[in-house]
Amino acid sequence: MEEVEVAPPQKNEVRIKILFTSLCHTDLYFWEAKGQTPLFPRIFGHEAGGIVESVGEGVTDLQPGDHVLPIFTGECGYCRHCHSEESNMCDLLRINTERGGMIHDGESRFSIDGKPIHHFLGTSTFSEYTVVHSGQVAKINPDAPLDKVCIVSCGLSTGLGAVLNVAKPKKGQSVAIFGLGAVGLAAAEGARIAGAGRVIGVDLNPKRFEEAKKFGVTEFVNPKEHDKQVQQVIAEMTDGGVDRSVECTGSVQAMIQAFECVHDGWGVAVLVGVPSKDDAFKTHPINFLNERTLKGTFFGNYKPKTDIPGIVEKYMNKELELDKFITHAVPFSEINKAFDYMLKGECIRCIITMGA
């Protein structure tokens, strides 16, 4: 734990007092320096909730006191992507893991004794105060409990939107979910909300199966327990394949299996997991000619400023269940415990209370 100085917000920026943050696997991945070009020293953290403390020049849609969720990707409101109803991949503010400063001037707003500390994903929420571009800040209902809805700002929305916005299962249809971590379980929550019938969870860790039942997963396949390929196992279970599948692992093998396990004629597979840079997806073109569809998604196709407040409302209206995702809680002074829980695979989401 170190004291850092957090500079005032510059043009189009806001300074936020973070009240609650949670740990996502992406923080762990970059902390272990497995991500692209490692940048250190750096303040990690990107799933959080807080209150706007001050706003910089040009910010008109946010003011001090607003309850907000900072988000790792943004919505400038002006580019072709922001003007498109189909895209959330803003030209200016889409995710950038290599940027260590702010867009306005390339400088960091964090320092210790005048030495700059790098930002992470434009959010850096493992700090009691942070500075974020206003296009990466979703203003939410002030009555929403920030210690719950903070998880909406990353993994939960990614899995939820992959099902509700991209796979779009019809009522009663079957869904296969590859990978039952937080994102996969959020996909299961999406399948529950959509009224899906059978929900088949695929994972190499059988310990995850019991937990996944709470999220509406009805059947389980552990690839290690079968001599056949997973897509064949699922085809046999479902009379030719599932109606929808969602891949949440990042394993290119699972991506191929997720595509090949959907039913011909109408099956849709959605890729969510991030592959390794040298991976190649290989399948026979006949799988497409037989009317299977393969789609990809980024952040569940949600636009951060436009759509995220609506997910919070779904929680407030009791349509969306968030509490079951939160398995642990620690004070900020014990943040290392959150990393330990995740490294051991013991938690779905651990909420970290700032100032404690």
Provide DSSP, 13-72: EEEEEEEEEE--HHHHHHHTT-SSS--SSB----EEEEEEEEE-TT--S--TT-EEEE-S
**Mean pLDDT over all residues of the chain?**
96
pLDDT for 25 equals 86
The stretch 84-99 carries a mean pLDDT of 95
- 3-class secondary structure, 116: strand
pLDDT for 276 equals 84
pLDDT for 337 equals 96
Distances (CA, A) of 96 to 15, 72, 120, 175, 311: 20, 8, 9, 31, 24
pLDDT tier at 346, thresholds 50, 70, 90? confident
- 3-class secondary structure, 98: coil
The stretch 260-268 carries a mean pLDDT of 98
With a cut of 90, say whether residue 239 has pLDDT above it: yes
The stretch 36-57 carries a mean pLDDT of 93
What digits encode the pLDDT tens for the residues 202-220?
Answer: 999 999 999 999 999 999 9
Q: Which residue has the higher pLDDT, 57 or 27?
A: 57
pLDDT for 234 equals 98
What digits encode the pLDDT tens for the residues 148-198?
Answer: 999 999 999 999 999 999 999 999 999 999 999 999 999 999 999 999 999
With a cut of 80, say whether residue 103 has pLDDT above it: yes
The stretch 325-339 carries a mean pLDDT of 96
Triad 332, 334, 335: Cα angle to 5°: 65
The stretch 49-66 carries a mean pLDDT of 98
pLDDT for 278 equals 87
Both ends of the chain: CA-CA distance in Å?
Answer: 12
What digits encode the pLDDT tens for the residues 16-43?
Answer: 999 999 999 889 888 888 766 778 999 9
CA-to-CA distance for 204 and 50, rounded, in angstroms?
Answer: 36
Q: Which two tokens stand for residue 127?
A: 């700090």
Q: Which of 304, 5, 305 is nearest to 128 (CA)?
A: 5
Q: Are strands 47-55 and 67-70 parallel, antiparallel or unpaired?
A: antiparallel
With a cut of 70, say whether residue 132 has pLDDT above it: yes
Catalytic positions, written as ranges: 24-26, 46-47, 76, 79, 82, 90, 94, 154, 349
What digits encode the pLDDT tens for the residues 270-301?
Answer: 999 989 888 999 999 999 999 999 999 999 99
With a cut of 70, say whether residue 313 has pLDDT above it: yes
Q: Which two tokens stand for residue 141?
A: 């209902």
pLDDT tier at 352, thresholds 50, 70, 90? very high
Q: Is 46 exposed, middle or buried (0-12, 13-18, 19+ CB in 10 A)?
A: buried
With a cut of 90, say whether residue 81 has pLDDT above it: yes
Q: What is the radius of gyration, based on Cα positions, of the chain? A: 20
With a cut of 80, say whether residue 309 has pLDDT above it: yes
Around Cβ 146, how many Cβ atoms within 10 Å? 21
Domains, the chain, ordered by start: 5-153+322-353 (3.90.180.10), 158-298 (3.40.50.720)
With a cut of 90, say whether residue 241 has pLDDT above it: yes
